[in-house]
Structure 1
């Protein structure tokens, strides 16, 4: 029995080394040393009678046998994980490390403010919030769950729809005084429009009115991969933006920006919580996703402007 447990542990370490791409990262995760990880894999290779990893000074790469073994290990470990979860279901404590990913603006404005309440409910959870405006690779970065806004392109993920973000077309009062207020989406073509360039739609803004779809190709002299940078450009009077309501909710209340084209409904964007497909969702991941889903459902700053 002991030998079987040791083999499963070695298989799990092997899979993590492959997914993380180096020994040091796995050693840090497991709070052990790099030589210890190397010894585990060497013992596993000795047991199997062949090389799993072709080591070089620059990177790790799998041998053909290693690739096949990696695929089999993932299946076996997932089955073991599922069996344990089935046995422990309902008894697992919400505790332990939880690594969360998000875009910078959504994470700062929508996730971080809710973490104190979540941690008051679950004080045995330790959160690591990682913010990036690039789509984070969940496996290589060791994320348990990340939040993505917009259409999902990666079908190899476990995704749960946790909300939607309504969008509003905004400009500063100074910009509108100088260049006029567009009355239809088509008139946006004559304005300086500011583009958030990480969405798949990019320069295509889509609206509906009376069940009719309106598409307009926008252009402008500035774009960014960060929502808050777009906000600063709008506040500076540079142009018009189509952005999440939550990004400008306080500015709209204070009159720093004006909502335009309110007779038209801008296309909303889904919000998904996504996790790696080969990793069981722990109780802490489920608790956090459930918590965020309830919070986002009732958040007034995510609702459409009436």
Structure 2
């Protein structure tokens, strides 16, 4: 494998195997056979003089050396990609594999329904949508871009603000009938409030009214790391939630929940498209982020309730 082109190809295959977690998946991507992929990686390991991947019947896992080599390969391939892009002077084709990350609810309700139109516009792209309610490690999980709601803590990422999640305070009519309706944020202290516990300010609900800020420490007997689970709790009459408008938009229209505290504006959350800092943003990533930004800005459920 003395040929630099062959070495780069082997490195690219190794990276894809790590990101897909499957020899056969990469073989299908590259329209070749699984034995061919295995042969390339075995030759790479022989060249390096050590194991990169610890193979088992159930999954692939990296050796310590393999993890370090993977990180280096990502940077090298990104540099090669950037050099080619510079040479091509903007003639890059919008095509290839695009691995996207998102929280479960946002991905299911706001990204997945929009993929058909995007792929219709760019048929040369294939998408792998990875959903998790934990903050995803972009490099380790091989993500090209992920969508995050809320303030960003990691300054070592490339982030673009593409929208805003407006929030609404909601409860089921049965809950309000039984416990009464709070008329001010301070009255929430006497209610069962449901916490989405992945936000830094999970038990601090912030509102504004007439230029006055209201901060309330809420409490309740249930919480979750999944916003759709919070929605089911609200629909079941368990308590009050401060949640994205887009999560309850259909329920509000149908009267399954009631928006309360209409005179108080709940603190909104930014939506960012986030990419690894050590990788040039490809044309396909830029095209998808542009598409999602436009879609979110025009979506009725991404607007505040008046």
Q: TM-score range by the shorter chain?
A: 0.7 to 0.9
Matched residues in 2 for 1:29 and 1:54: separation? 16
Bigger drift between 243-252 and 125-134 goes to 125-134
- Between the aligned partners of 1:56 and 1:291, the Cα distance in structure 2 is 39
Aligned to 1:146: 146
- How much has 1:154 moved relative to structure 2? 2.3
TM-score, length basis structure 1: 0.85
> Can you list the C-alpha shifts for 1:37-92, whole angstroms capped at 9, x where unaligned?
132132145xxxxx6969899851139xx95x777665544332211112224322
1:221 counterpart = 2:224 = no
For residues 178-227 of structure 1, the C-alpha deviation after alignment (integer angstroms, 9 at most, x for no partner) is 11111111111110001111111111111112222211111111111111
Query: Where does residue 134 of structure 2 map in the other structure?
Result: 134
Query: Pairwise mapping of residues 1-306 of structure 1 onto structure 2 (< 5 A)?
Result: 3-10=3-10, 12=12, 16=15, 20=18, 25=21, 27-28=23-24, 30-31=26-27, 32-45=36-49, 60-62=63-65, 76-306=76-306
Closer/same/farther in 2, CA of residues 138 and 76 from structure 1, 3 Å limit: closer
SS at match of 1:241: strand
CA RMSD of aligned residues (A): 2.8
Structure 1 residue 139 displacement after superposition:
2.2
In structure 1, the residue corresponding to 2:232 is in which secondary structure? helix
Instruction: Tell me, in whole angstroms, the C-alpha distance in 2 between the residues paired with 1:89 and 1:268.
Output: 39
Tell me if the contact between 2:51 and 2:63 (Cα under 8 Å) persists in the aligned partners: no
Question: In the TM superposition, what whole-angstrom CA distance separates every residue of 1:214-265 from its partner, at most 9, and x where no partner exists?
Answer: 1111111111111111111111111100000001111111111111112111
Which blocks of at least 5 consecutive residues in structure 2 are unaligned?
28-35
- TM-score norm. by structure 2 comes to 0.85
Partners of 1:129 and 1:70 in 2: CA distance: 22
* Rounded Cα–Cα distance in structure 2 between residues aligned with 1:54 and 1:255: 54
Deviates more, 1:273-282 or 1:256-265: 273-282
Larger mean CA deviation between 168-177 and 34-43 belongs to 34-43
Distance 1:196 1:214 in 2: 19
Answer yes or no: is the 8 Å Cα contact 2:157–2:277 preserved in 1: yes
Cα distance change on mapping 1:111 and 1:54 into 2, 3 Å: closer
Distance 1:279 1:231, change over 3 A: same
Q: Return the alpha-carbon distance in structure 2 between the equivalents of residues 115 and 177 of structure 1.
A: 41
Q: Name structure 1 gaps, 5 residues minimum.
A: 46-50
